[in-house]
Amino acid sequence: MADPEARYNEMMNTLKENNQKLTPQRLAILRILSGSEGHPSVEEIHQKLSKDFPGISQATVYRTIMMVKSLGQVLELGFADGSNRYDGNKPDPHPHVICTKCKKIIDPNVSNLVDLPRQIAEESGFEIVTYRLDIFGICPECRAQS
């Protein structure tokens, strides 16, 4: 995991460089995205914010995340059931492990997976632009419950 404080500053600087306003709401969204604990959905981020910003709409949260995404500062993981999840802690493509029960998403810390896209590029002759690698399973907490 990247240092959330460093990521927060990096995101803030990128917004500044692109003349985006740093409103308290936006900074609060960046704060949540910089840690991206469990890879939150828009709904989860909205819920966390509504304590401090009772008036903020889910659409505003969504638009802010899209703006941050357009600046390459957050990774979006789309799923067939329509629930997109976000990682602002590590905005570049990386493998994910997903619990099919509680929908938690974690970043596995397995170094040789990082080399996989390079190996595939060599083998296939493709220039790799981006990639997606999801591994599905049951997390330790859910396993302990069953």
Q: Where does this chain touch Zn ion (CB under 5 A) — which range of 6-14, 15-23, 56-64, 106-114? A: 106-114
From candidates 22, 27, 102, 114, binder to Zn ion by CB under 5 A = 102
Say what the alpha-carbon torsion angle 44, 46, 51, 56 is, to the nearest 10 degrees. -170
Q: How many residues does the chain have?
A: 146
Q: Does 71 bind Zn ion (CB under 5 A)?
A: no
Nearer to Zn ion, 11 or 139 (CB): 139
DSSP element (H, E) containing 31? helix 24-35
Considering the rule CB under 5 A, would residue 42 count as an interface residue with Zn ion?
no
The closest alpha carbon to 88, from 103, 99, 72, 102, belongs to 72
Distance CA(59)–CA(30), nearest Å, equals 16
CB of 144 to Zn ion, least distance (A): 10
Rounded Cα distance between 53 and 31, Å, is: 14
Residue from 58, 97, 107, 117 touching Zn ion (CB under 5 A): that is 107
Stretch that binds Zn ion, among 50-58, 66-74, 96-104, 122-130 (CB under 5 A): 96-104
Options 4-12, 24-32, 98-106, 122-130: segment touching Zn ion (CB under 5 A): 98-106
Q: How far is Cα 76 from Cα 85, in angstroms, rounded to an integer?
A: 6
Q: How far is the CB of 72 from Zn ion (least distance, A)?
A: 15
CB count, 10 Å around CB of 100?
11
Q: Does 87 bind Zn ion (CB under 5 A)?
A: yes
Give the interface with Zn ion as residue ranges (CB under 5 A).
87, 99, 101-102, 104, 107, 139, 142
